[in-house]
Amino acid sequence: MGKPAARMGDMTAHGGTLVAGCPTVLIGGVPAARLGDMHVCPMMNPGPSPHVGGPAALGSPMVLIGGMPAARMGDMLTCAGPPDTIAMGCMTVLVGEGGSSAGGGGAGASAAAAAQASAAAAQFDNNESTIAEEHWVVFEFVDSAGNPVSGVPYKFTDPDGNESFGNLRLDGKIRRDGISEGQCEVQLYGV
């Protein structure tokens, strides 16, 4: 069963609201919230009150809004204090985890799960080039235990100053092909 779609202005468990959304996708007449969209939090904690909370840290990897996973009621939000969650959403628009299929054997479920994981990995970073060119770069992000960091919003700047945005793939990598010679930069948001 799906969860209600989150939108700009929807309440959080700490009593704050989502303050950003995709202006080109309206749900109930309000911009849709996505992974990486920020919220404000009035809760007293180590930060000042009110303070700008962090971005939505979870979303539906199979439902993209403006190229980013859709945020839903119950999804986690990063905050200066304890983690926050989206407490309200549009009850008439439900966002699910992903598609399913009617299978005819025991291997169907594992094949569907593998296909869903593969599709999610591909869609987490939809700006990635697939054609190998002369100049390319790979960034890999891992935590202190050596595990890949995934789903974190980032901004990539190529040597020509062109910017693109996305989320770290499930393997924690960003790869760009066909770029000019020079330095690239990646800025992570919400780590």
Q: Which domain holds residue 46?
A: 3-95
> Is 7's pLDDT higher than 90?
yes
Q: Residue 132 CB: number of other CB atoms within 10 A?
A: 9
Nearest to 5 by CA among 66, 92, 64: 92
Has residue 63 got a pLDDT over 50?
A: yes
pTM: 0.50
- The predicted pLDDT at position 98 comes to 64
Q: What is the pLDDT of residue 50?
A: 63
Same domain, 9 and 69: yes
Residue 128: what residue type? Answer: E
Number of H helices, E strands in the chain: 1, 16
Closest CA to 77 of 19, 35, 23: 35
User: Domain end: 80, 95, 110, which one?
Assistant: 95
Q: For 179-189, what is the mean pLDDT?
A: 89
At 123, the pLDDT band (50, 70, 90 cuts) reads very low
Residues 20 and 72 in one domain: yes
Asked if residue 14 has pLDDT above 80, the reply is yes
Amino acid at 115: A
Bigger pLDDT: 46 vs 161: 161
Q: Look at 115 and 70; give whichever has higher pLDDT.
A: 70
Q: Are 91 and 125 within one domain?
A: no
Based on the fold, state whether residues 9 and 90 are members of the same structural domain.
yes
Average pLDDT of the chain is 79
Mark which of 77, 95, 113 sits at the end of a domain.
95
Q: Are residues 130 and 179 in the same domain?
A: yes
